[in-house]
Structures are given as C-alpha cells and as structure tokens.
C-alpha cells in the first residue's frame, strides 16, 4: 500500500507537512478495500495521504472525532449541505427540523410500499437468474424505494439509474467537470419536482417533498436551495448506500447456505444478521471532517485546518472492540457498531434503512430458493469511494 519501497507507515515525522504514509488509490488497496484497511489499522492507524488527508482506522480514534464536533468540524465542503455539513448551533436547528420526517409512524407507513417493490424485483430475479444483481436488482430497488419515500414519480426511475452510472464514472475518473455536470443534473431533478408541487398549490400531492416546501425554520419557509440540499443528502446517500448494502448481503449469504437456512426458518434474526454482515463489510467506507485546532489523535499531531477521513469500514472491524472481529457472529452485541455513525451526526434515517433492508431480505428469502455465487462470473468489487460490489452474479445452490 505504500507509494514506494519504504514501509507503508512512519510515525516519527513532524506535522504539519507529513509525507504520504499510504496511497488510498493504489491497485493493492482497491483490489480489496476491507483487507487493505484492516492492514492499515494494525500497521499505521493514523495515516496521511495527499488524497484523503489524515485517515483514522481505529474505533477509538474514530469515536474521538465523532464525539468532539468543536474540534472536528463537518464544514468540509464548499457547497451548502443541510444538515450534514453543518456544526452547532445551525446543525442543531436543522437536525431538529428534519427528524420528524423519520419518525417511526411515518416510516412504518411505507413498509407496504417497499415490500411491493421488493416483491416485484424478486419476481424479476427469479425469472432472470443470469442477471447482474447489482445493476438489475440492488440499484433499481434503491431508486424505487427512494422515489416512493419522497413521492417522486415512476418516470424518474430510469433517469436516476442513468444518473447513478454517470456519477460513478465521473467520481472514479476524478473528472471535476463531469462531477459538476452530474451534480447539476441531479439538482435539476429535485427542482423540477418542487416546481410541479408549487404549481399545483393546495392540490399538490401530500408527500414528503411537498411537506418540505411547506416546512418552516426560524419562522420562515425553507429556501429552495435548502430543500435541494436536504433532498440531495437524503437521496444521493440512499441510492449508493442501500444498493451497496443489498449487494454485500447477497454476496455474503451466497457463501453461507447455513445462514440462509437459519433465516428461512427464523425471520426474526434478519435484523441482527444484517447488522453483523454490514459490520464485517461496511457499505459506507468513510466520512470527512476538518480539524479546527491542533490536536493529537492516536499519537500523531494534526494541525488546524487539516483534512480528516474517518474510516468506518476499518473501525467496525477493530479487534480491540469486537472479539474475533473478522468472524461472523450475529449474536454479538451491536451497540458499538458504527454502521449508522455516532454522535450528533448519527444517521437520522437509520430506522428507515434498517426497515428497507429487512424487507428486501425477507422477500428474497421468500421468493428465491437457496443461492450461491455464479461459478462462471467472479464478483467485481467496487472501488473507493464506493463499497460493496459493482457486479455480482448468483446461481441456484
């Protein structure tokens, strides 16, 4: 993982001008991100690179960052991000405003919608067993459930799927012009939905997007730019992460017929099994922060203004926190699992995501017989910043 023939880590250099400890984009890392991050956690748990700044791989170091928002700021982007890219007191205000949208009763009302979507896609999978389950199942599921949650029409399903592919290609190529273009394209989809509802006035559909148009904060209606930012955060993260989750779960179960059998007999174990699978292989690799002052993390000194990348996928496999961390133990205590984050920025949609994943796995187990990895098509792993798999084929077991 090192950028030359030196050891991949050094701890005796002064800040604030460290050399690279590792290259996050190297072929060795991208070949198997999870394995590479495990190695970094053991060899160089606080590591610098030009690409990611300071990367933190240990659970305790990640928790230090998540628990101290005054020292580790979320103001990491040039573009407004509501509320993810905010610090208190602004974050507190907007977070309180959005949390009711993820209230249990609101989420529960969508379960029949998500279940019908999952059932239709499982039926497709059953009649097209040779399809790529990422492109033809996981990604369509993510798009359709998100449109259902937001009240967006079926006519957006295909454009959003095309957007996913273009966004992924631009991100992997680090093509900033293309990334800006696809970002504007996505914002255009959101604005068109807002404009349709504004033109409809009182006749607008009573859905989440309409509710945001009528939402107030500080005694005023939300600006269009604020609504676009909120919906962008919810949707972009949801599309990529839910699709990655579904692929990771299917890949794992394809190699564990015993676990498939267990879950077919006892569906009550689905939530715990999913959390443990996604602890082992995180669907979200990392998140960003910036240091507001000089601070020590894991024995290294980080300067004010330096970029920080918390590596969820490594922290959740830390043997100091999880006994036999690389082993599948669904009975283990998940209270330290950082799948949905921690601290003031913990994911507000965690319960929604859990329900969406529970539903799709339940329907898969009902609609498909035992399955395994296709012997003639190796899974293709996703590369940073994505996780999971970019291609996955299954076959009857």
364-380 tens-digit pLDDT: 999 999 999 999 999 99
Backbone φ and ψ of 80, nearest 5°: -60, 140
Chain center to CA of 119: 23
303: Cβ contacts below 8 Å, ≥ 6 apart: 15, 16, 291, 294
pLDDT at 19: 75
How far apart, in Å, are the Cα atoms of 62 and each of 21, 296, 311, 313? 18, 13, 8, 11
How confident is the model over 115-136, as a mean pLDDT? 96
CA–CA separation, 145 vs 158, rounded Å?
A: 13
pLDDT at 286: 97
CA–CA separation, 206 vs 82, rounded Å?
A: 23
Q: pLDDT digits over 25-35, tens only?
A: 999 999 999 99
Q: What is the pTM of this model?
A: 0.93
pLDDT at 273: 98
The per-residue pLDDT of the chain, averaged, comes to 93
Residue 218 has pLDDT above 70, yes or no: yes
β-sheet bridge partners, residue 220:
217
Are 20 and 48 within 8 A, CB to CB? yes
How much of the chain, in percent, has pLDDT values that exceed 70? 95
179: Cβ contacts below 8 Å, ≥ 6 apart: 167, 170, 171
Are 317 and 102 within 8 A, CB to CB? no
How large is the C-alpha radius of gyration of the chain?
21
Are 41 and 325 within 8 A, CB to CB? no
How far apart, in Å, are the Cα atoms of 196 and each of 67, 199, 385? 41, 5, 34
Full set of structural domains in the chain with CATH:
27-396 (1.10.630.10)
CA–CA separation, 110 vs 100, rounded Å?
A: 15
Residue 332 has pLDDT above 50, yes or no: yes
Q: Which of 386, 323, 380 is nearest to 59 (CA)?
A: 323
Burial annotation 245-271 (CB, 10 A radius, 16+ → b, else e): bbbbbbbbbbebeebbeebeeeeeebb
Are 129 and 123 within 8 A, CB to CB? no
Number of neighbours of residue 219 by Cβ within 10 angstroms: 5
Confidence band of 281 (pLDDT split at 50, 70, 90): very high
pLDDT at 13: 40
Tokens matching residue 118: 């999952």
pLDDT at 7: 33
How far apart, in Å, are the Cα atoms of 324 and each of 60, 262, 316, 318, 320? 17, 21, 12, 9, 9
**Sole residue written with tokens 């894991």:** 298
Give the max Cα distance, the chain: 67
pLDDT at 174: 80
Tokens matching residue 388: 């999971």
DSSP structure string for 262-278: HHHH-GGGHHHHHHHHH
CA–CA separation, 296 vs 207, rounded Å?
A: 46
Residue 323 has pLDDT above 90, yes or no: yes
């Amino acid at each position: 993982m090192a950028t030359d023939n030196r050891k991949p880590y050094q701890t005796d250099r002064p800040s604030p001008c460290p050399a690279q400890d590792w290259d996050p984009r190297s072929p060795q890392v991208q070949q198997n991100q999870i394995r590479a991050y495990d190695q970094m956690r053991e060899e160089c748990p606080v590591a610098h690179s030009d690409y990611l700044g300071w990367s933190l791989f240990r659970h305790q170091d990640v928790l230090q960052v998540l628990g101290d928002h005054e020292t580790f700021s979320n103001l990491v982007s040039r573009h407004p991000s509501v509320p993810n890219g905010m610090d208190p007191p602004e974050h507190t205000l907007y977070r309180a405003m959005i949390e009711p949208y993820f209230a249990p009763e609101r989420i529960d009302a969508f379960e029949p919608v998500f279940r019908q979507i999952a059932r239709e896609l499982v039926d497709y999978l059953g009649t097209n067993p040779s399809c790529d389950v990422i492109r033809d199942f996981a990604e369509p599921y993510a798009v359709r459930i998100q449109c259902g949650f937001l009240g967006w029409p079926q006519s957006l399903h295909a454009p959003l799927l095309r957007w996913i592919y273009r966004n992924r290609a631009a991100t992997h190529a680090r093509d900033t012009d293309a990334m800006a273009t696809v970002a504007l394209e996505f914002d255009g989809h959101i604005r068109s939905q807002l404009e349709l509802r504004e033109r409809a006035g009182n006749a607008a559909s009573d859905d989440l997007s309409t509710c945001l148009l009528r939402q107030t904060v500080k005694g005023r209606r939300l600006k269009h730019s604020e609504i676009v930012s909120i919906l962008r955060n919810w949707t972009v993260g949801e599309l990529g992460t839910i699709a990655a989750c579904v692929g990771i779960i299917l890949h794992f179960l394809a190699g564990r017929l015993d676990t498939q059998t267990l879950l077919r007999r006892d569906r009550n174990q689905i939530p715990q099994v999913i959390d443990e699978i996604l602890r082992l292989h995180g669907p979200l690799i990392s998140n960003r922060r910036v240091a507001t002052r000089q601070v020590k993390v894991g024995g290294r000194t980080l300067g004010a203004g330096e970029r920080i990348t918390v590596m969820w996928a490594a922290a959740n496999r830390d043997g100091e926190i999880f006994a036999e961390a690389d082993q599948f133990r669904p009975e283990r205590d998940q209270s330290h699992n950082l799948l949905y984050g921690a601290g003031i920025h913990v994911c507000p949609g965690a319960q929604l995501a859990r329900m969406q994943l529970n539903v799709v796995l339940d329907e898969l187990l009902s609609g498909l017989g035992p399955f395994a990895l296709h012997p003639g098509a190796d899974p293709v792993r996703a590369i940073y910043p994505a996780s999971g798999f970019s291609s996955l084929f299954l076959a009857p077991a």
